[in-house]
Structure 1
């Protein structure tokens, strides 16, 4: 957590001097954290972390935006991230709270556009050959189509919140390679899934940087906690199925929150 120290204006200094004559001025006053808006997909809403709000978006009390807000007490907090969101959903449904006073925006987006959920289903149900084909389709989309989709979202965020610091969060590797997995998809398929995640992070980081946004790479914080690691912060196949391949509560607090702390 980063504390922001109060930066006194001339008026505040005069007021301080006037109050100090009576001994009433506080020392080392702390300024509240800026207004915060959390956008994005299921990795930001907290699918897989439990303790959800009512509604279809599955916003979790254990999601990193909620944890950051609780720790930093921003002037206001709006949580519009939603399970299943694509870039078009962010543009249509999530930007309402943004304004000139917004000080911090966080977002993870792009995985659903690239079809990661469908790709993982293909890998689990249809075998290695179909998996590799579907993952390559996702990688082609990430390389050729996703950059323009991200630009649309990032342009809209900047237009609506011109003064905000924007933290773009990436995605972890799903699998620990050569890990402890006796069942599931093949090692070659796991390598392909992780490679697609690398592509997604690389493209997202580049588009974020070109917009002057900060990119938060969570692959390092999730290292040693992927599926097959023996200390997983990601679900494998679950019931309900929509929590599959999403961070647990530990993944939100240990994998995502420290990265947002580092760039917020």
Structure 2
């Protein structure tokens, strides 16, 4: 898991087969996808069911719609979780992998709240504080050389950015929001523990987002509780320049966002259908 151009420090994180922190890298998602595509079966097997790669100096990150995502060194935590459900004795069905974005969103929200930041989930892949973006998530599927489906799900959390370093006006950071400001390794440990906990409880429920987790509450119920998009007036930008305006009224049991238009009609939209979702102006 180490190249000649960058240093990877191994970490011991309970619940993870492999974990490491890059001193610098172009993209942790790209690094993870390269590992999954490796022809070396032994190297892939060492990734187990869960592994994680992270850095606080990412030089060429990408978000949804291939938008560039870069930050000053040390100002953000970038982490990518490698999920290989086929490595489990009770593997998830491939269709359940679509929930990984939401699982990481819930884990990140919990981690931020523990640090004193009252974050909420903006469907489908952002975390916001007072309407300002503090983190973004990108999930990508991967077919390993042997044909098994795996996934990488990456997150970038603005940690130590000051106002002059923010990438856009509607962004914020943990430092700006008055967080306890742990170092990035401590933050990664907490985030990884939360992600593994929610993921494994979801897997124990058979990958059914409507089934109660060990806490007695289902994954989709947790999402409804913490998704701040619900109840907001939104504009859904669809391919072909079509725009649907209405009120986001609920999350469907399959994770789609349900929007009621001005005529009272309710339609659901999948992540793959939505180009952008924002408060309507």
Per the TM superposition, whether the score is higher than 0.5 is no
Q: Which has the higher contact order (CA 8 A, sep 6+)?
A: 1
Give the structure with the higher percent helix. 1
Give the structure with the higher percent strand. 2
Q: Which has the larger radius of gyration?
A: 1
TM norm structure 1? 0.30
